[in-house]
Amino acid sequence: MLHDTLRFFPGGDRAVEVELGDGMDFTLNFTVHRLVAAVREAGIAAIEDIIPELASLQINYDPDRISYEDLTRAIAAIYEEMGSDVSGSLPSRLVTLPVCYFDEETTACIEDYRKTYPDKRFDPDLLCELNGLADRAALARRHSGTEYWVAALGFWPGLCSLLPLRPGSRITAPKYNPPRTWTPKGAVGIGGALCCVYPDRTPGGYQLIGRCPAPIYDGTQRLPAFRDSLALLRAGDRVRFRPVTAEECAWIDAEVAAGRYEHDVVEYQIFSVDRYLDWVKAHGEKA
Amino acid sequence: MNARCITVLKPGLETTVQELPGRIGYLEQGFPVSGPFDKWSFRQANLLAGNPRDTAALECQFLGPTLRFDCDATVAVTGADMRPKLDGEPAAMWRSLPVRAGQVLELAAAYSGARGYVAVSGGIDTPVVLGSRAVFHMARVGGQALARDQVLPLGPPPSGAGDILAVPEASRPPFSTDKTWQIEALAGPNDDWLDPASVEMFFSADWSVQAKSNRTGIRLSGPQFAFAGRALDKSSDHGQDPSNIIDHGYPLGAVNLAGQTPIILVNDAPSTGGFINPFTVASAAFWKLAQAKPGDVLRFRRIDREEAGRLRAALETVTSAGVAVRV
């Protein structure tokens, strides 16, 4: 749900959080990205960094070049001028990621956590129960049966927040409490209503369902997909997961290790927001 | 003459190359800003070495490195007192030290403070990654912590280098002598998620620095927080815990509340996440967080944006070229 107006929350003397609404949905996140694009277009020189997120954005600024008051006034004016209609088309890459569901590595990671916290339900079983899914096969079908919208990147270099685009494809889950101290690189997780792929071996809190052998971050830029960027994905891309067997997963691991793996990235598509929202309406659910 | 470089004889405890302003413009891809944790000491070290103040230099943590100079250079050591020695003889901090090729600079454990800085004339000339030489060690961005036998290239010596300069004691960062630090902080962005009494409590309680603190966050121990209605009655998209919020950006210096543990997010902290940030440390006070040791006590003093601006201006004065005087 969008708020009537922007809400500004100062974060110290060099940052401001701009909240557009309350919730995790495509329409709200798309509006965040429209506002970010409009703010960039305005070229306010004192802005150092902008972080688009699900329902808000953070602006880091140099307070010796622009005051908090002038900055927030400028942002509010840009938002007003922009209008609130969610419409238009944008180039959006479609990235297909292989995923080996319920693989050995993430299973071992869950078991490792359960040694310390034996009451922790095994992640896939917990997800099935909370989302009314009969078994793991149904969980994998639900997860791989939709395109995802890359809503934001953050927390760690290249880590993406993915929102399912197909109505009825949401899988929701609580986060680990306390968080894990480690997660296998490439683990695919569900937290809240979001899906993510862990770009590296990092701490984490999402429930794990499998592993993606195709890297989404490459600090050494060895593979062709990382020629222009260390992170594979950017906001506004779409992701689809392709289930693979343990054998194919091992083959991809070997291709990656040899520096040969080519990611499946389709670059020629235009994403029409209007047609998408019409399609959602036809499926009888709000995006 | 050898190429201008330094050889690492002992790496110390996670010694890294840092540079200002850090990695700007990549937060939206999840890269932290990084850069030196104590900007005050860092900039003074560079000025003493004859460099522009934002030049790449070394940040040492708790235990400093041992370095061999493979060329003549001017070096300066500031920040935490790591009892520097040059060829085994005590060497002065906060002043320019001319060194000759072959000399060895040895830093020990921090006697006061936690982070020391070593600047060398010409600066450390490691490769620029995403616009900066600053190292984000945990993700190996811009390199990693120093390793034994690593050779660090130096940039060309600045023109007019060689003056012996010192920073007068009155212009150096005032380190705590009683293990307590007063930290200036502002309310927000999410102070409205806490019960008003807990907001007051934050600014009056003693907060102890946990050993599990590093360049990503300073973990604090202290009293428990109570939450406001906004945190307790919210849409399920925010998450179950009262401290959960829909993923949002994390300001540098934010006091992040995960469950009941406040973690101050510093230079290498995550860019975003799903916990609230009820308070944010004033940018001019970050240096104190760099120098507080595990077990030290932090007391937060509430200030407004105007006072934060005055503190920034004061810090600017003591880190500008004129502060290093000829001796």
Within 109-128 of B, beta carbons closer than 8 Å to A belong to none
Tell me the CATH class for A94-282: mainly beta
CA distance A279 to A26: 13
Other C-beta atoms lying within 10 Å of the C-beta of residue A71:
22
Q: Is the Cβ pair B282, A12 closer than 8 Å?
A: yes
Strand residues in chain A grouped as ranges (E): 2-10, 15-21, 47-52, 56-61, 89-91, 94-101, 147-153, 160-164, 180-183, 187-191, 194-197, 202-204, 207-211, 238-243, 264-266, 270-272
Summarize pLDDT for B116-158 with one digit per residue, the tens. 999 999 999 999 999 999 999 999 999 999 999 999 999 999 8
Q: Confidence class of residue B161 from pLDDT cuts 50, 70 and 90?
A: low
Q: Which residues of B touch A48 (CB under 8 A)?
A: 24-25
What's the pTM?
Answer: 0.95
CA-nearest residue to A170 within chain B is: B237
Average pLDDT, chain A: 95
DSSP A82-123: H-S----EEE--EEEEEEEET-HHHHHHHHHHHHH-TTSPPH
3-state secondary structure of A239: strand
CA distance B310 to B11: 38
CA distance B81 to A151: 46
* CB nearest A53 (choices: B136, B248, B309): B248
**Least confident residue range of A271-285, B8-22, B84-98:** A271-285
Q: What is the pLDDT of residue B1?
A: 45
Summarize pLDDT for B8-22 with one digit per residue, the tens. 999 999 999 999 999
Partner A contacted by B282 (CB < 8 A): yes
Within 163-222 of A, beta carbons closer than 8 Å to B belong to 172, 174-175, 177-178, 191-194, 199-200, 219
DSSP B260-276: TEEEEE-TT--SEEEEE
Q: Is the Cβ pair B139, A51 closer than 8 Å?
A: no
Chain center to CA of B130: 20
> What percentage of residues in chain A have a pLDDT greater than 90?
90
pLDDT average, residue stretch A250-275:
96
**Residues in CB range of B233: below 8 A, 6 or more apart:** none
CA distance B185 to B285: 8
pLDDT average, residue stretch A139-164:
96
pLDDT average, residue stretch B102-116:
97
pLDDT at A107 exceeding the cut of 50? yes
pLDDT at A285 exceeding the cut of 80? no
Q: What is the pLDDT of residue A83?
A: 83
pLDDT average, residue stretch B55-77:
97
CA distance B109 to B43: 22
Q: Confidence class of residue B246 from pLDDT cuts 50, 70 and 90?
A: very high
pLDDT at A161 exceeding the cut of 70? yes
pLDDT average, residue stretch A110-135:
97
pLDDT at B183 exceeding the cut of 70? yes
First to last CA, chain A: 11
Q: Confidence class of residue A178 from pLDDT cuts 50, 70 and 90?
A: confident
Q: For A191, phi and psi rounded to 5 degrees?
A: -145, 130
pLDDT at A84 exceeding the cut of 90? no
Return the CATH fold of A2-86.
Gyrase A; domain 2 (3.30.1360)
ipTM of this complex: 0.96
Partner B contacted by A234 (CB < 8 A): yes
Q: What is the pLDDT of residue A156?
A: 94
CA distance A189 to A183: 10
CA distance A274 to A87: 5
Q: Where are the domains of chain A?
A: 2-86, 94-282
- Report all structural domains of chain B as residue ranges with CATH numbers, in order of start: 5-169 (no CATH), 180-318 (2.40.100.10)
Q: Are strands B180-187 and B297-302 parallel, antiparallel or unpaired?
A: parallel
